[in-house]
Structure 1
Amino acid sequence: MVSSLASAVLLTGYPSFLARRMAEQILAHEPNTQLYCVVRSKFLPWAQQTRLTLPASQRNRMVLLEGDAASMDMGLSGAEYREVIEKVDKILHFAQYRDVRADPQWAHHTNVQGALEALEMAYAAPRLTHLVCMSSIDVLACSGLARESDPPKSPPFRTFIQESLAHAERIYRRAAHRIPVTILRPSTMIGDSNTGEIDRLDGPYPLFMLLVSSGRDTIPLPLRADHLLHFVPVDFVIRSAHIIANSPWSPGKTFHLVDPAPLSARRVFELVARVAERRSSRGDVPSFVARALVRSPGVESFARSPRAFLDDFSPRARFDATNTEAILQGTGVSCPPFESYVEAIVRYVQGRLHEQREGGVHPMHDPLL
């Protein structure tokens, strides 16, 4: 694994969708960077497969390390651990467990113990200039204006996933005086703004799928249709994260990766309905009816957590993104408006539903995001 390249990055969470996109971004835009990826043993064959899809000039700079980001020394052998800490100048900790159906103990292990291990690795690396950690706006209170400097909220939490992510973020913040750590808080991530591609069809996707697959000409709006929906396309998150990770200005700061002009649930519903050639009715549908609609054939099998999403259909919060706007200024990177990529989202959902009806199995159902 010895490399003479100028820079070395350690990435956790591979081959989850988000980590794969981050790996591709790094390898495509940093030709002098060696990329180490920590991969759990059960995902190693898949990781090896995805590595082979990369151009030779990129995959030759990518090293897959069998381990576990939440285990001691990230589960690496002694030789691997020594090489990594001697060479890495950046760590991107993207290993997270966000499936609400998960075992709470496993989610805590991955999210909280993983945070501790990332910090230990960073502290042991003499060349380290930056530790970038993935969090979520879900750790914040859901009312009023939430600023990037705001700490995670206190209990109670709606889910154990939110609780573990908030716990992890508090750990990062306590370590900021001794480690150059940056926290990323994206809103709900949806598909690529160009292709619509995403791994898990959760969050708002059960409603998107309802519109796409329903035989009804008119679909009633969900309850609380005036609430704001906070989501961003995954390509915006990746491009922003890459810029932030390479900026000397970002250590010690938190960045909200959000849509600066979020749409109401009503407007999102109308846009999706238009592309899907459905009409949305003017009246709201009670939440218990909405849940029943989401259980329609062909929809529930894809929906990981429709009830959780509908029960808290949209927080009333707005999210300040002063740090993000400042660091992205002049880069050409900004969050596109939903109107500009809704068609890509709908077409991708239609393709996934067609694949499901044909009995196909989509490969991207991993629990790490």
Structure 2
Amino acid sequence: MVKRIYFFTGFPGFLATRMIARLAEEEPESEFELLVHESAIPEAERVVQRLRGNKRTKRFRIHAGDITKTNLKLEKAVSEQLKETVTHVFHLAAIYDLAVHDRIAQSVNVTGTRNVNLWVLECKSIERYVYFSTAYVSGDRKGTIYENELALGQDFKNHYEKTKHDAEVLVQYMRDRIPTTIIRPGIVLGDSKTGETAKFDGPYFMMRYLDKFSRMPIPYVGKGEALINLVPVDYIVEATVYLSRHPVGEDKVYHLTDPNPYQAREAFRLIAQALTGKAPSFTMPHSTVRIMLSFPPLRKWVKVEKETLDYFRLEAVYDCTEAQRDLEPAGIKCPDFADYIPAAVEYYRLHRNDPAKLIEVV
């Protein structure tokens, strides 16, 4: 029976936790070394307890550390031992907030990735390095974006995109030295079957917006002709777990995006009907909504970051030919948005007042 030693950053984040749970179920002999920032250790311990269930096992080991520090701030003896045994490194830790300040994004996304890269290069048993990027490293590019493209002189809509681009550039340099798989997800929604998600950010800002206007005529935001690329978390997990272990995934970059994305206007209509029971009935200019959200009091009331609006005007199409081709033998496909959005909306409806899931808008 296969035994791998997995090293994760980004735990106890939702995506890392889901991935670890999937791997642990499929590989009962494998072990998991979890790098956790000191501030997140209490939550990490709770999540590990859930992963263990009723079993008395030491498969899941938490290590206090910090990707922004040299040697990941691991104790020297611990670090040296891990470098001898770890076979797979999953680097998911990052700042994903679209409104993040440059200094913080640089520290975590760029410096953090540089430090993880340096650590991985010293791992003697490494079989695969899996780095989580984003489809939006494409910045303001228009037209078809291919999986083998990265730095083509684009500008960026926010510090999140810029720093994730710069971090991926660093990882790209690793590809001829370490077996590497780069994952570029689209905008991630909750589980396609249960709707479960950890935070109501990203596309959930649309639902928070609708909450404020549900008792009055609902406006579309601009023409909404852009294709908005939404993908459920279970597709990301299933695809990544497969590609990270299969030889076909070595030295590849994958767009884990929807091959048949909906226009933003149609996606918004489906969400509005599922959440409020009615469709939008008129169009408010994009510029008007952006001006409104430029005022902090109004932005806090609506609970929507103004940076979210940029993705309603994105003139990019994310080609995912490589991902589709390599996932086809495993029968892994991205579900259709219209089929799973009712589950996402229902989960939001049940948990929208849960403070642990709300993202503060400033």
| TM-score normalized by the length of structure 1 | 0.89
> Are the aligned partners of 1:221 and 1:285 in contact in 2 as well (CA < 8 Å)?
yes
Match of residue 112 from structure 2: 114
Output the CA distance in 2 between the equivalents of 1:143 and 1:269.
Answer: 22
Q: Give the residue type in structure 2 aligned to 1:159.
A: N
Following superposition, the deviation at residue 154 of structure 1 comes to: 2.9
The equivalent position to 2:356 in structure 1, one of 347, 355, 362, is: 362
Q: Using the alignment, how far apart are the partners of 2:348 and 2:56 within structure 1? A: 30
Q: Quick one: which amino acid aligns to residue 189 of structure 2?
A: I
Aligned position for 2:49 = 52
Cα contact 1:157–1:163 (8 A) shared by 2: yes
What percent of counterpart residues are identical? 26
Deviation at 1:39, TM superposition (A): 0.1
Matched to 2:339, the amino acid is S
Structure 1 regions of 5+ residues with no counterpart? none
Q: Matches of 2:240 and 2:217 in 1, distance apart?
A: 40
Contact 1:221 1:280 in 2 (8 A): no
Contact map agreement 1:210 1:299 (CA 8 A) in 2: no
Choose 37-46 or 97-106, whichever is displaced more.
Answer: 97-106
Residues 1:156 and 1:201: Cα distance change in structure 2 (over 3 Å):
same
> Relative to structure 1, is the Cα distance of residues 241 and 319 closer, same or farther in structure 2, using a 3 angstrom cutoff?
same
Structure 2 residue runs of 5 or longer lacking an equivalent are none
**Structure 1 residue 148 and structure 2 residue 147: aligned?**
yes
Q: Name the residue aligned to 2:277.
A: 278
Among residues 23, 30, 41, which one is paired with 2:27 in the alignment? 30
Change (3 A) 1:233 1:295: farther
Aligned-residue offset at 1:73: 1.5
Q: Quick check: 179-188 or 21-30, which moved more?
A: 21-30
1:65 aligns with 2:60: no
Q: Which whole-Å CA distance do the structure 1 matches of 2:345 and 2:3 have between them?
A: 42
Give CA deviations for 1:26-53 in whole Å, capped at 9, x if unaligned. Answer: 2121112110010000000110011111
Match status 1:326 vs 2:325? yes
**Deviations 1:182-231 (CA, angstroms, capped at 9, x unpaired):** 11100111111122222332222222223345343531211132221111
Contact preservation (8 Å) 1:223, 1:287: yes
Aligned equivalent of 1:132, options 109, 130, 133: 130
CA distance in 2, matches of 1:79, 1:300: 47
Instruction: Write out per-residue CA displacement over residues 115-160 of structure 1, whole angstroms, 9 at most, x where no aligned residue.
Output: 2122222211111111000001111143111110012343532111
Q: Distance in 2 between matches of 1:302 and 1:244?
A: 39
1:12 is aligned to 2:6: no
Q: 1:345 to 1:16 in 2, by over 3 A?
A: same
The residue number in structure 1 matching 2:178 is: 179
Going from structure 1 to structure 2, the CA distance change for 1:301 and 1:78 (only over 3 Å counts) comes to farther
SS in 2 for 1:119: helix
Give the 5 Å matches for 1:172-211.
172-211=171-210
Amino acid at match of 1:203: G
Q: Secondary structure at the match of 2:141?
A: coil
Structure 1 residues 59 and 274 mapped into 2: Cα distance closer, same or farther (>3 Å)?
A: farther
| Cross-structure match for 2:92 | 94
Deviation per CA, 1:81-106, whole angstroms, max 9, x where unpaired?
Answer: 01111111110001111223434222
Distance 1:66 1:163, change over 3 A: same
1:41 match: 38
Partners in 2 of 1:326 and 1:85 — Cα distance?
Answer: 33
2-side partners of 1:293 and 1:48: how far apart? Answer: 38
CA distance in 2, matches of 1:212, 1:332: 37
CA distance in 2, matches of 1:161, 1:145: 21
> Would you say how many aligned residue pairs link Structure 1 and Structure 2?
357
Once the two structures are TM-superposed, the CA of residue 349 in structure 1 deviates from its matched residue by 1.7
Distance 1:302 1:131, change over 3 A: farther
Contact 2:299 2:306 in 1 (8 A): no
Measure the CA separation in 2 of the matches of 1:234 and 1:179. 27
Distance in 2, Cα, partners of 1:363 & 1:58: 30
Q: Which amino acid aligns with 1:123?
A: L
Which moved further from structure 2: 112-121 or 82-91?
Answer: 112-121
One-letter amino acid of the counterpart of residue 102, structure 1: V
Residues 342 and 164 of structure 1, relative CA distance in 2, 3 Å threshold: same
Cα distance in 2 between the residues matched to 1:19 and 1:143:
31
CA change 1:205–1:295 in 2 (3 A) is farther
Q: 1:17, 1:198 within 8 Å by CA — same for their partners in 2?
A: yes
Q: Show the counterpart of 1:235.
A: 234
Q: 2:81 corresponds to which letter in structure 1?
A: E
Alpha-carbon displacement from aligned partner over 1:32-83 (angstroms, at most 9, x marks no partner): 2110010000000110011111224485311100001232111111111011
Q: Structure with the greater relative contact order (CA < 8 A, sep ≥ 6): 1 or 2? A: 1
Change (3 A) 1:239 1:329: same
Paired residues of 1:210 and 1:293 also in contact (CA < 8 A): no
Superposed CA offset, 1:299-356 (max 9, x none) = 94684x5311114414121111122112211323211001111111111221233x2x
Kindly tell me: are residues 364 and 32 of structure 1, through their superposed partners in 2, closer, same or farther at Cα, counting changes over 3 Å? farther
Tell me by how many angstroms 1:276 deviates: 2.2
Superposed structure 1 runs of 4+ greater than 6 Å apart: 293-299
CA contact (8 A) 1:212 1:350 kept: no
